[in-house]
Structure 1
Amino acid sequence: MTSADFQTDLSSEAISVLICESSSVQLRILSEAVQQAGYSVQTANNAEDSLKLLNLGTVDIFLTGIEVGAVSGLEACWSLKANTETESVYTIVITASGEDRRLEESLDAGADDFIRKPVNMTELRARLRAASRLVRMQKQFKRLAETDALTGAANRRAFMQYLELRAESATRDDIPLSVIMIDLDHFKAINDTHGHAAGDTVLIQTVQAVQDCLRDNDMLGRLGGEEFCVILPGAGLFSAGIAAERIRAAVESMTISTDEGVKVPVTASLGVASLNNGDLICAPDVLLQTADAALYRAKDTGRNKVWLDGAEEQDDAPQQQQAG
């Protein structure tokens, strides 16, 4: 997950609709109609299976009947809205014509909208379009809350949440996890000499350069000022060191000029730490502190270099290879 993931054009994202209907015929009719309208469709014929799919976090809109097995569609709505992980899913309940009591129960259960049987497909498409606008707006607000406004990298809050999840996963599944702390060298001097506009350009282009070095499930976060950090799930210390050297070289090779045409040289110091050490398991803060200590070793020994945690001397940077 690079910072590019936080800048995706939401209007181009497919909206996922989960349809729950006990009648296989009705389920097929609804599924085909919704799919033809351009939505990504999942189906279930009972509420229990629907809740399992909903808990996977891949559903944007939940379209459900009321009588859909031992657990009703209304009970599914209650469960959906009571769970902080799924409460933002937009819910449309299909009610039988003339059942005003059911309509009231649906809204009380947390449904966002309703549609009566027999379902008019034109009306259904219109309601889905309205729901999609709200879903995309919610996603945009969520991404803004998770993103550093200047650079597009993850902000500190989103970064720490992802690190905690990855640390738990690494411990549970016994897989490595590494982080790379990145600090731009002499950044204050860049601001003082060339102005804050040039400094902002350096930060923005640094994020672009770093994200080009990352895999899909890596995350780049801005922790503050000119300090950044990368989470590398599945990468041990050596592999993370190779990735760090790739990042260091990418930052050093950036071409940045002021409005007056003055070239601004940029370098970075990087510290790498891994969660392979048993003392660090389930301690994301300790992992960051360890990477930070390695970063300062890089700065103290000359800057523009990568320092791996636990190393006494590092004369040579890791050779370029594919991090894994």
Structure 2
Amino acid sequence: MSDTNEAFGAGSPTTPISVMICENSAVQLRILSQAVREAGYEVQTAKSATDALEVMKLMPVDIFLTGIEVGEVNGLEACWSLKGNSDTESTYTIVVTASGEERRLEESLDAGADDFIRKPVNMTELRARLRAASRLVRMQKQFRHLAETDSLTGSANRRAFLQYLEMEVTRSERHGAETSVIMVDLDHFKNINDTCGHAAGDAVLREVVKAMQSCLRPRDMLGRLGGEEFAILLNGTDISEASTIAEEVRSSIEQRLIELPSGEKLSVTASFGVSNVCPALGQDTPETVLQAADDALYHAKQCGRNQVIVCAAEPDEQLAEAS
């Protein structure tokens, strides 16, 4: 979404609310954008619905404030387009209509507009409408954040991670962007649960996530796939850089001293497999990219654990140890 963690973090209720203002009158656009910006919102502007929709494809916004006559594609059609796209259907839409255009009000609501405001725009009323929209947007974000978060560790859950991976693989294919994945599995984790108890195991998982997050960039996504298995999505990252990041994460985990609920302290290690989107190797779907990383991870386990293995860069190459 945008940077990865920002995309995942969009569920946070503390994220600033963003508004796209679409208006073909330069004067009206300036007045509206100034008023909305002064009210504390992040503002983007466009003079046509076509331009607004193009921007929102790359950088989704929370609230879309639009006039009706805004170019070849009118504001109502823009609302319809947003509501018909699963990526933008949650965008709150407000249509600005001229006074007395009751027919247009009905059309606006039928087109998927969530609210409307009449011209000339009363700025006090506009701010009130935006506050009401913001409450709904934040509530939706909070629900989405809870639905996408692993409750134990605070990382993305399996469903959210796989959904974002699918989006990034598609984007990589379309635009040729580098995308890499790191699979992570804690070594001998079952022994911790068996000897120290599940509360100790939970404490280890939480601390390991903190150790991993300390090495990651804002655009990276960390997800828990299940049990002690995690995955890291690195968009805009080639496999060489991904292996370097994996080694930093491995070292961070190994060096972390974890205090258990009993007061006992221990350290743990993890094994890593690294792969990337590479059509030449048949790694061009979320499943194949993950499988390649999982194969490399299995090789790391077989070779003694606590190491990083990178999948082959060429079909005839062997898996390479990176640590």
Q: TM-score, normalised by structure 1?
A: 0.88
- In the TM superposition, 1:307-318 aligns within 5 A as 307-310=309-312, 318=323
CA contact (8 A) 2:10 2:145 kept: no
- Going from structure 1 to structure 2, the CA distance change for 1:283 and 1:134 (only over 3 Å counts) comes to same
Which of 230, 233, 237 is the aligned partner of 1:231?
233
- In the TM superposition, 1:109-124 aligns within 5 A as 109-124=111-126
Aligned partner of 2:110: which letter? D
Mapped partners of 2:177, 2:88: distance in 1: 28
- In the TM superposition, 1:130-169 aligns within 5 A as 130-169=132-171
Q: What residue in structure 1 maps to residue 222 of structure 2?
A: 220
Q: What residue in structure 1 maps to residue 268 of structure 2?
A: 266
Q: What residue in structure 1 maps to residue 249 of structure 2?
A: 247
- Going from structure 1 to structure 2, the CA distance change for 1:312 and 1:64 (only over 3 Å counts) comes to closer
| C-alpha deviation, 1:88, in angstroms | 1.1
Mapped partners of 1:16, 1:99: distance in 2: 28
Aligned partner of 2:216: which letter? L
Q: What residue in structure 2 maps to residue 298 of structure 1?
A: 300
Q: Counterpart of 2:258 in 1: which secondary structure? A: coil
Mapped partners of 2:185, 2:224: distance in 1: 10
Q: Counterpart of 1:271 in 2: which secondary structure? A: strand
Aligned partner of 1:296: which letter? Y
Q: Counterpart of 1:70 in 2: which secondary structure? A: coil
Mapped partners of 2:13, 2:257: distance in 1: 32
CA contact (8 A) 1:2 1:211 kept: no
Which of 29, 35, 51 is the aligned partner of 1:49?
51
Deviations 1:60-114 (A, max 9, x none): 1111122223332222222221222221111111222233222222111111111
Q: What residue in structure 1 maps to residue 258 of structure 2?
A: 256
Q: What residue in structure 1 maps to residue 76 of structure 2?
A: 74
Aligned partner of 1:158: which letter? A
Mapped partners of 1:95, 1:52: distance in 2: 23
Mapped partners of 2:97, 2:223: distance in 1: 46
Mapped partners of 2:89, 2:6: distance in 1: 26
Mapped partners of 1:252, 1:174: distance in 2: 35
- Going from structure 1 to structure 2, the CA distance change for 1:143 and 1:49 (only over 3 Å counts) comes to same
Do residues 24 (structure 1) and 26 (structure 2) align? yes
- Going from structure 1 to structure 2, the CA distance change for 1:271 and 1:75 (only over 3 Å counts) comes to closer
Deviations 1:239-261 (A, max 9, x none): 33322221111111111122322
Q: Counterpart of 1:201 in 2: which secondary structure? A: helix
Structure 2 residue runs of 5 or longer lacking an equivalent are none
- Going from structure 1 to structure 2, the CA distance change for 1:235 and 1:14 (only over 3 Å counts) comes to closer
| C-alpha deviation, 1:136, in angstroms | 1.3
- Going from structure 1 to structure 2, the CA distance change for 1:99 and 1:233 (only over 3 Å counts) comes to closer
CA contact (8 A) 1:7 1:152 kept: no
Q: Counterpart of 2:184 in 1: which secondary structure? A: strand
Do residues 104 (structure 1) and 106 (structure 2) align? yes
- Going from structure 1 to structure 2, the CA distance change for 1:226 and 1:68 (only over 3 Å counts) comes to same
- Going from structure 1 to structure 2, the CA distance change for 1:76 and 1:251 (only over 3 Å counts) comes to same
Q: Counterpart of 1:17 in 2: which secondary structure? A: strand
CA contact (8 A) 1:167 1:177 kept: yes
Mapped partners of 1:171, 1:73: distance in 2: 32
Mapped partners of 1:247, 1:108: distance in 2: 51
Structure 1 residue runs of 5 or longer lacking an equivalent are 319-324
Percentage identity across paired residues of the two chains: 61
Q: What residue in structure 2 maps to residue 86 of structure 1?
A: 88
Q: TM-score, normalised by structure 2?
A: 0.88
CA-based RMSD: 2.5
CA contact (8 A) 1:6 1:147 kept: no
Mapped partners of 2:248, 2:297: distance in 1: 16
Q: Counterpart of 1:55 in 2: which secondary structure? A: helix
Mapped partners of 1:287, 1:67: distance in 2: 46
* Greater CA drift, 163-172 or 23-32: 163-172
CA contact (8 A) 1:4 1:152 kept: no
* Greater CA drift, 230-239 or 68-77: 230-239
Q: Counterpart of 2:58 in 1: which secondary structure? A: coil
